[in-house]
Structure 1
Amino acid sequence: MRDEYADIIFLDGVIYTSNSAQEVVDSFAIKDDKIIFVGSFEESKSYTNLNTQKISLDGKMILPGLHDVHIHLPGIVKNDLCDLDAKRYSLDELVPILQQCIQRLDLPKGEWLAVTQWQYYVGNEPSEANPNLRAALDNVSQYHPIMLLGHDGHTSAVNSFAFSISQNSNGEVIGLNKQTLNREFSHLKN
């Protein structure tokens, strides 16, 4: 007879323990939101009573720790690349900042400039010299493909040079334009 019984036992799983003596088990038990047992289902039976709920994991894996299931590292890790810190910039302000990044990073011609934390939904005001974002990026450099990565991790923008070096599934440079978008890159439209 045991002093402590589990509220819930998870069984029939692949549970990674991080313990080199017993790396993988198939069951674990919880009491008052705390793990009280990790081991085999046979061993876990001694933690059950009539009130213990049993949940089958159906062979699914459990990893210990705290997990963020949707994270974008460029947004939380300070990098030594070109980081806009999610600040608002007009297109006229953006051009010299990106040119300074190319100089600071000493990028050889043809090398990508990847710019993180671009604030895409505010700022970016056009001007006569930079009537739209692509024109502004083209004014940064004609020798470097440039990609702005939005601060949300889901939005990006590139310059004309980046479009011109797009490759098909065979690795052939064909460029990205209206014709190739309808042929080789049609799967990207949906």
Structure 2
Amino acid sequence: MKVKTLLLFVIISFFIASCENIKMEHKADIVLRNATIVTMDDSIPTAQSIAIKDGKILFVGSNADVGKYISSSTNIIDLNGKFVIPGFIESHAHFLGLGESLLNIDLRSAKNWDEVILLVKEVAAKSKPGDWIIGRGWHQEKFSPAPNPNVNGYPIHNELSKATPNNPVMLSHASGHAIFVNEFAMKLAGITNKTKNPDGGTIVRDKDGNAIGVFEENAENLIRKFYDEYLSKRSQKEIE
């Protein structure tokens, strides 16, 4: 009899503990309440409270109804009417630029500057004189060996210019914050050692003050405006 009683006690204890665990599974780690929560749901555009557990939302609704998700260990934050809006998780991808890059020379796999020149040279051989050659994805820190000569790790345009004497070349940096161009493009844009840096931009130069082919940030526009002008004169058939 004592054994049966003990066994029954153990079973009941486990049952109660299980019920408590189930209850705790539905208790929030964090509750935000007294807020103006933008739900993005037209049928219920705003709510007062939100319950969160393990980084996931358990509940969105009124202050009264959120109570069932609160335990003694819940962190309750009173927002006093402040706004809560959905977050946007993005990888800082420039989708338009990414799509455009798929139509041009992909330089992401280039292991060194010589490979970049080879890829560009292959396209130049198939291009009409005067047509712009566009690429994207190079990064000087990925090059092995490092370009020689170089300025702050950047290659100098000389070898690229020799390989592409009849076409302007513009190669966007992997970061999107710089371009590399050849001599043809710089002459087209009227770039000399007297050209001043624009506000918010830098023309990277060698020790003698000559542009090496790299245009950072707003300095890109010194070149890009001529590429845009070229595009504006092309027919739809040529673009396709």
TM-score of the superposed pair, with normalisation by structure 2: 0.50
Corresponding residue of 2:52: 30
What percent identity do the matched residue pairs reach?
A: 22
Q: Map 1:1-190 onto structure 2 (within 5 A).
A: 4-11=26-33, 12=35, 14-17=37-40, 19=41, 21-22=43-44, 25=47, 27-41=49-63, 43-55=65-77, 56=79, 58-59=82-83, 61-63=85-87, 67-71=89-93, 79-91=102-114, 93-102=115-124, 109-111=130-132, 113-121=133-141, 122=143, 123=145, 125-126=147-148, 133-164=156-187, 175-182=190-197, 185-189=198-202
Give the letter for the 2:104 counterpart.
Answer: L
The answer as to whether partners of 1:15 and 1:63 remain within 8 angstroms in 2 is no
Structure 1 or 2, whichever has the larger Rg, is 2
Aligned length: 168
1:20 CA displacement: 5.6
* Structure (1/2) with the larger helix percentage: 2
Distance change >3 Å, CA 77–CA 147, structure 1 → 2: closer
Q: Which has the higher contact order (CA 8 A, sep 6+)?
A: 1
Q: Whole-Å Cα distance in 2 between the matches of residues 26 and 159 of structure 1?
A: 59
The answer as to whether partners of 2:38 and 2:46 remain within 8 angstroms in 1 is yes
RMSD, matched Cα? 4.1
1:40 CA displacement: 4.8
Q: Which runs of 5+ in 2 are unaligned?
A: 1-22, 150-154, 203-216, 218-240
TM-score of the superposed pair, with normalisation by structure 1: 0.59
